[in-house]
């Protein structure tokens, strides 16, 4: 059964969008109004007067703790749709879960099919979310050991797509400086809107990134859209949920679209196979294990049309 998001009534077993983006850990930060900076856009309040910021902080806290029970495994395809040139596709798979530091995702990408710009052989990446995010990649130019990804390299496209480690990690949901803008409607559903400001470590690497605006489902604590904004709110990149699918009595994100608003190139992330409620061995999300080949679960479910 195909379900378009704008017609979808979420259930409490929803696997949060925040998991392909998928699981999040709680954090206890309260909103801190950003200090005035020339490149930081002011909030656009969606009702008369400033919305209650404590209410907004509670909404954001709930999104940070949302996610599936147990670990999960997904096989997917990245369909790259450049504005000019031929499209191509890259197969991949990921394992997701949660450790003491927060949500964690291990992803591997195969070789491109049908066009240029893909990876040569297999590439693997590990991203740690939460209040203290980090990321690693393998293989590395320095050898067979996984190497850490710095804040600048977080924004480097993976395998010629519009997907980055930053998109997987989604650290902006834990940024301390944010403003709750209120409730709007997005594709027919109410959405809590936030403007989040990057910390100094990100600003130093991406001075063009002024803020990120996110749209959250206030009832089911799901991220449905995120927009990277430049100076004067110039859109830089967007991510939005396209489609959901029910697997084992839980709804998962089936399709997400990433769009570079400058080049107008797009990448469509589509899940083809899934397994939920898994119990992974402790070393799966260890950076040192990225060089090890991991077998997929024995039992998986095909995510059809």
> Quick one: which of 114, 123, 181, 115 has its CA closest to 157?
123
Using the predicted structure, report yes or no on whether residue 205 has a pLDDT greater than 60. yes
Instruction: Say what the pTM is.
Output: 0.83
> Domain segments of the chain: what residues?
3-285
Using the predicted structure, report yes or no on whether residue 275 has a pLDDT greater than 50. yes
Domain 3-285, CATH class in plain words = mainly beta
The reported pLDDT for the residue numbered 121 is 59
The reported pLDDT for the residue numbered 16 is 42
Kind of pairing between the strands at 134-138 and 147-148 = antiparallel
In angstroms, the CA 128 to CA 113 distance is: 29
> Quick one: which of 141, 136, 165, 174 has its CA closest to 28?
174
Average pLDDT over residues 234-250: 89
Which segments within the chain are labelled E, that is strand?
Answer: 3-4, 71-81, 88-99, 102-109, 123-128, 134-138, 147-148, 177-186, 189-197, 211-217, 222-229, 235-247, 250-260, 266-278, 301-302
3-state secondary structure of 202: helix
pLDDT band at residue 284 under the 50/70/90 scheme: very high
> Quick one: which of 25, 27, 23, 2 has its CA closest to 14?
23
The reported pLDDT for the residue numbered 220 is 74
Residue 177: partners with Cβ closer than 8 Å, 6 or more residues away: 31, 32, 33, 34, 35, 196, 197, 199
Q: What share of the chain is helix, strand, coil (3-state, %, to 5)?
A: 15, 40, 45
Answer with the residue of higher pLDDT: 214 or 10.
214
Residue 215: partners with Cβ closer than 8 Å, 6 or more residues away: 184, 186, 191, 192, 193, 223, 224, 225, 226
Give yes or no for a contact between 299 and 279, defined as CB atoms under 8 angstroms apart.
Answer: no
> Which pLDDT tens digit goes with each residue over 5-54?
444 434 444 444 344 444 333 333 334 443 345 568 888 888 777 899 99
The reported pLDDT for the residue numbered 2 is 46
Phi, psi of 169, deg, nearest 5: -75, -35
In angstroms, the CA 304 to CA 243 distance is: 12
Ranges of H-type helices in the chain: 53-65, 165-169, 200-205
Using the predicted structure, report yes or no on whether residue 233 has a pLDDT greater than 50. yes
Least confident of 69-78, 98-107, 137-146, 253-262: 137-146
Average pLDDT over residues 270-278: 95
Phi, psi of 270, deg, nearest 5: -130, 125
Whether omega before 139 lies within 30 degrees of 0, making that bond cis, reads yes
Distance of CA 178 to the CA centre of its chain: 18
4 DSSP assignment: E
The proportion of the chain whose per-residue pLDDT surpasses 90, expressed as a percent, equals 57
């Amino acid at each position: 059964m195909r379900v378009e998001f704008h017609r979808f009534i979420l259930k409490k077993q929803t696997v949060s969008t925040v998991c392909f983006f998928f699981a999040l850990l709680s954090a206890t930060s309260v909103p801190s109004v950003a200090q005035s900076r020339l490149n930081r856009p002011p909030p656009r309040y969606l009702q008369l007067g400033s919305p209650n910021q404590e209410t907004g902080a509670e909404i954001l806290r709930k999104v940070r703790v949302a996610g599936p029970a147990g670990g999960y495994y997904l096989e997917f395809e990245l369909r790259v749709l450049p504005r000019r040139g031929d499209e191509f596709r890259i197969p991949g798979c990921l394992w997701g879960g949660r450790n003491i530091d927060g949500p964690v995702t291990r992803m591997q990408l195969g070789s491109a099919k049908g066009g240029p710009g893909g990876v040569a052989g297999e590439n693997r990446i590990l991203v740690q979310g939460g209040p203290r995010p980090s990321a690693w990649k393998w293989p590395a130019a320095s050898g067979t050991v996984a190497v850490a990804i710095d804040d600048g390299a977080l924004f480097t496209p993976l395998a010629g797509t519009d997907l980055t480690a930053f998109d997987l990690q989604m650290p902006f949901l834990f940024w301390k400086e944010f403003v709750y803008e209120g409730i709007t409607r997005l594709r027919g559903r109410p959405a809590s809107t936030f403007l989040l400001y990057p910390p100094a470590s990100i600003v130093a690497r991406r001075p063009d990134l002024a803020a990120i605006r996110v749209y959250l489902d206030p009832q089911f604590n799901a991220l449905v859209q995120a927009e990277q904004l430049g100076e004067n709110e110039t859109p830089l990149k967007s991510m939005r949920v396209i489609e959901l699918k029910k697997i084992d009595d839980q709804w998962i994100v089936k399709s997400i679209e990433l769009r570079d608003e400058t080049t107008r190139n797009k990448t469509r992330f589509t899940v083809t196979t899934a397994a939920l409620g898994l119990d992974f061995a402790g070393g799966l999300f260890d950076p040192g294990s990225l060089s090890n080949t991991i077998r997929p679960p024995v039992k998986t479910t095909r995510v059809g049309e």
